Structures are given as structure tokens and as C-alpha cells.
Amino acid sequence: MTTPENETRFPYQDASLPVEQRVEDLLARMELADKAGMLFHTMVGYGDPGEGNSAFGIPSAESMVRKRRMTHFNLLGAAPDGREFAAWHNALQRVALDTGLGIPITFSTDPRHAFSDNPLTSMMAGPFSQWPETLGFAALGSPDRLERFADIARQEYLAVGLRVALHPQIDLATEPRWSRISGTFGEDADLTSRLVVGYIRGLQGEELGTESVAAMVKHFPGGGPQLDGEDPHFSWGREQVYPGGAQEYHLQPFIAAIDAGATQMMPYYGMPVGTDWEEVGFGFNTGVLTDLLRDRLGFEGIVCTDWGLLTDVQIFGADMPARAWGIEHLSRPERMLKAIDAGVDQFGGELCTEVLIDLVREGRVAEERIDASVRRLLREKFRMGLFDSPFVDEDHAEAIVGRADFVEEGLATQSDSLTLLTNTDGILPLQRGIRVYAEGVAPEALAAWATAVETPEEAGVAVLRVKAPYEERDRGGFSALFHSGSLEFPAEEHARLTAIAETVPTVLDVYLDRPAVLGGLEESARAVLVDYGARDEAVLAVLFGDRGPQGALPFDLPRSDAAVIASRSDVAFDTENPTFRFGHGLRY
């Protein structure tokens, strides 16, 4: 279906026709297998389209396109540069266009412009420009500045053929121990609601079109209030609780996203406990997806589940049960049927197309119900122009991805998002050339600003870059990648940092991927600042006064683990007597 002479053999190939007419024409030509393939959206690895990914148990992209007729893929990994990225995209797109009806692939991606490196939730920036995590944009608090970032991300994604962003994540960080906070805009619903509008506008424009990247907003109806801060990727974290009855608070950003034109929505894994909703995962929950999202909030777009709700798999050599919380006892076909009945359009991380085909042939799912979801998915492909311009320009991709001005703007934003908590006796900014004992700072970066020394005793100041505390856990598979548990520094590390601060005036920079309990370090150190993903160069520019910190805390910093345990997981700003409040941030 790729030669010029047959590009407009059928009405759905005619770009001059209305989208709805093209959708109906193509839908009428699709076999059941074509329709079933549309409802699955799984991972594909960068590399040879004929090879699979053994770490995730994924077959080759080519086999999924040809045999399962799948046309939606979430990309794992990245090419080393824009040109190779674009060439890979075009090669796989040719496979799709040479298959059956020639339905082009929609490629999606988790966030890949920041610092997180958990392949289940985000990617390192790689060849793209690098910016702070979304918490950093929350610290800046500017929808316009976030829109600028999202527009640059859109340009880089578009250049290599990534057309769906599996973000923004607009859960609220009301449970400080939750391991997914780094991808959020923090604790405040009003701030998150303002920011998500800028984010969606930057990705999609005023409306979804040929220059847009569609935003798949997550995780409906708000994934923050997890019991004990555990994450529902895992069976021990499946319960989502509302001891403060604050469901409506967590809905506010999603209402703003829908009003801003979000076209896709992802429910989270969590199973609500103690509410009026059925105690099953949100992806199986009719009360949440149909009654709330569709009927009450009026969402008409695509609902795609989070990854892996149906099938038990192995990841990194470890067993990974399906996240079928509350219905673990059901068979895979029964789980699928419940999700479809709840209102799901697409199954993330799944490729069991044969199960859906059997359900339709057995009369357990009406083909008209499948058609309703396929219409939504086709409509999006047509609106984004994938049928009319399926390939990307490799020269353009080389020029756009990681463009120098994008990189510089990202670095400046890293600096600006830094949040200064204390600055005793005005120790900051530091004097150039000062003798510095540094930890967590690359020597070559420090050399441009100061003289490095080997011990605190030799130094005029210590600069210590550390990460927010978490409990070292490894329950198998990828559980160790999720930072969970205590927010307090281990006693030995706390004592070590305090000893340095007692030896030499100390500047402490803490990378916050979730809140931290400083435990008195804010008094021992002469200055404490926090970052949300920043290169050494970005931090040093602030420490030595080339740029000033502009950030404000996007959440409270709790006083202790005990205060967190005593708080209500769904209620914002509920820990007693926090060390620093939301919105705190000094300037100089």
C-alpha cells in the first residue's frame, strides 16, 4: 500500500475527505484481526525490527505488525542520534504500510527529557535535550515556561516519529513516600491544574493536528494516595486509600486536562479501598471509567490501560504477575472482558490479540463494541496525519534532536528550578577559586569554578550533592528501581554528613525524587538547596552566582517518618509541623 499510484485507491487514503468519512471507510474494510490489533499497545525495542527484546519477553516488532496486526507501540531505548532514530522509525513504518490495509504505526514514549532511569516509568534523555523532572517545573510554577518545554519536546518527538507522549503525570503527591512522585507536579491540586494546561498546549497546540504529539494523561483518577506509599506495580502496593475522603481533590487536575483538550487517558493500577467504587483496579472499574470519566466528566477520547493488566510475564528474569488487582482469580479472557465492559479502549503492555478475537467469535464481546474503540484510535491517527505523512525526514531529525539552543535552555531551566531552603550568613553565592571539598560532583565540572581538595580539613567550603533517602529493597525483578519506604537519612549517613558540616562550612544539595526528611541537616549545613534533576554545571552556576535559584518547594518537607505515618494519604499538606512548607524558596 505504499506506491503513489495506489495511495488513493480507497476513500480512507484520500486526504481531502473529512476524517469521519475516512474512519468509516477504513473501518468497513477491516477484518476482525485488524480491529483486534488496534486495541493493543505494547513495548518495542530500538534495534533490528526482526529481533525481539528478551529482557521484557517481547517478540519482534515485525512479527507483531505482520502476525498480530498491531499498530501502536511504546518505544524502549533510543538511537544514539536523531538521524538513526528517524531511520529506524521509517524502516518499521515501511513494514506496517506494506501489511494488509497499510495502517501506519503510532509510536509512543514515556518521558525521556530528564534524569529518571527506571525503564518501567521513564527514560534517560539520551540524544534529546535534558531538562529537570516535572517537579522542577512545579518549583518554577510557570505554565508558560512549561509550555515552552513541552513545545520543544514536541519538536524533538515529532522529528523522530514519536506521536503519543505517555505523559504528563498529574497525580498529586499527597503520600510523601510514594515512589512515583518525581514525575508529578507535586502536592497542590491548583498548581498542577494550571501547569497541565500549559503542558498539553505545548504538546498538542490549540487542538490535535498534524504537528501535534498527543498527550496521554495519567493516572486517572489520581494515583497518589497509595497505602503506606507503596506502588501498585507490585502486589504489596495494590491498595489505594482515601482516609480523608479527598477523591474530588485528586480529580481537579484531570478536569483541567480534559478541558484543555487531552485526547487520551491512562488509569492507574491501584485498587480503591473503602470508597463507593468497586474494589478492583481502576482499569477494570466501571464506576471510575464509565460513570465518572465518561458520563460525569464527559471525556470522549481514548482510554488506554497501564501496562500489564492481563498477562503474567517475566521481566529481567523475575516473575511479574498481571496487575489484575481485585480480580486475580479471573482468567485472562475474563479479565479482558471486565476491562472492556468497564470502558477500556486499549490494553497497554499486552499483545494477546487472539484472546480478544475469541471473545468476539464466542459472542461474549459484540463487534460493535470493538468498533467503538477502533473509531477513537483511527480518528487519532487521521487527525495527526499519519496516513498522509507516515515517514519522517532524517535530515530534519538530525538537525532538531538535541539542538544546541534546546540543550542550553534545558540546562538554564535546571539551574532556575533549584530551590534554596537555607542560606545562613549569606554563604551563597560562593567566591570563584575557593578551595572546595566536593562529593557527588564531577571533578572536571568543579575545575571551572573552584580548586578541588581531597579532605574537608583542607577546604574553605564543602559541596555535597546527595539523593533523597529511601530504603534499599530488592524483592526481585525491577522492584529495586522504585524508591520507597523511609524518607529519613540512615543514621550512619546522617552522622557522616553532620560531621563534615561540623568540620567545614557546608553546602548541601539534595536531589528530590520525592520529599526528604532532613532531620536537622538544615541546621548543620550552612546552606541547603534541592534540585529535581540537574547536571553539575547547572548546580555550580547557581552556587557561584552566575544564575540565581528561582524554585519554590512543590510539596511540604515532612519533619519525620512518624509525621508521615500519622498523616492521611489523600490529604494535601497533612503532615504535622513540616520542616519546610510548600512554596518555600529563598533568592539571592
Q: Which domains does the chain have, with CATH numbers?
A: 27-400 (3.20.20.300), 419-549 (3.40.50.1700)
* Among candidate residues 252, 300, 292, 255, the one with its CA nearest the CA of residue 272: 292
- Spatial strand order of the sheet with 40-45 comes to 302-303, 264-267, 214-220, 162-165, 106-109, 72-76, 40-45, 347-348
Question: Under DSSP, is residue 371 helix (H, G, I), strand (E, B) or coil?
Answer: helix
Task: Please give the Cα distance from 87 to 386 (Å, whole number).
Answer: 16
- Spatial strand order of the sheet with 435-439 comes to 419-423, 527-531, 506-511, 461-467, 435-439, 451-452
Burial of 75 (0-12, 13-18, 19+ CB in 10 A): buried
**pTM of the full predicted structure?**
0.95
Write out the three cell numbers for 577: 509541623
CB atoms near residue 565 (< 10 Å): 12
- 3-class secondary structure for 44-60? EECCCCCCCEHHHCECC
- Rg, Å, the chain Cα set: 24
List per-residue pLDDT tens for the chain, 588 residues long: 444 434 678 999 999 999 999 999 999 999 999 999 999 999 998 887 777 766 667 889 999 999 999 999 999 888 899 999 999 999 999 999 999 999 999 999 999 999 876 666 666 678 999 999 999 999 999 999 999 999 999 999 999 999 999 999 999 999 999 999 999 999 999 999 999 999 999 999 999 999 999 999 999 999 999 999 999 999 999 999 999 999 999 999 999 999 999 999 999 999 999 999 999 999 999 999 999 999 999 999 999 999 999 999 877 777 889 999 999 999 999 999 999 999 999 999 999 999 999 999 999 999 999 999 999 999 999 999 999 999 999 999 999 999 999 999 999 999 999 999 999 999 999 999 999 999 999 999 999 999 999 999 999 999 999 999 999 877 766 787 889 999 999 999 999 999 999 999 999 999 999 999 999 999 999 999 999 999 999 999 999 999 999 999 999 999 999 999 999 999 999 999 999 999 999 999
Task: Please give the Cα distance from 157 to 295 (Å, whole number).
Answer: 33
Question: Which secondary-structure segment (H or E) carries 300?
Answer: none
Nearby residues of 313 by Cβ (< 8 Å), 6 or more positions away? 56, 57, 320, 322
Nearby residues of 108 by Cβ (< 8 Å), 6 or more positions away? 41, 72, 73, 74, 75, 162, 163, 164, 165, 166, 216
- Phi, psi of 301, rounded to the nearest 5 degrees: -85, -155
Instruction: Assess contact for 305 and 266: CB atoms under 8 A.
Output: yes
Question: What do you get for the CA distance between the two ends of the chain, in Å?
Answer: 62
Task: Please give the Cα distance from 53 to 390 (Å, whole number).
Answer: 25
Query: Residue 251: what residue type?
Result: L
Task: Identify the active-site residue in 306, 416, 531, 574.
Answer: 306
> At which residue does the C-alpha cell 580539613 appear?
457
Quick check: is 405 catalytic?
Answer: no
Angle at 535 between CA 122 and CA 200, to 5 degrees: 45
CB atoms near residue 67 (< 10 Å): 15
Half-sphere exposure of 553 (CA within 13 A, CB side): 26
* Among candidate residues 286, 143, 293, the one with its CA nearest the CA of residue 222: 293
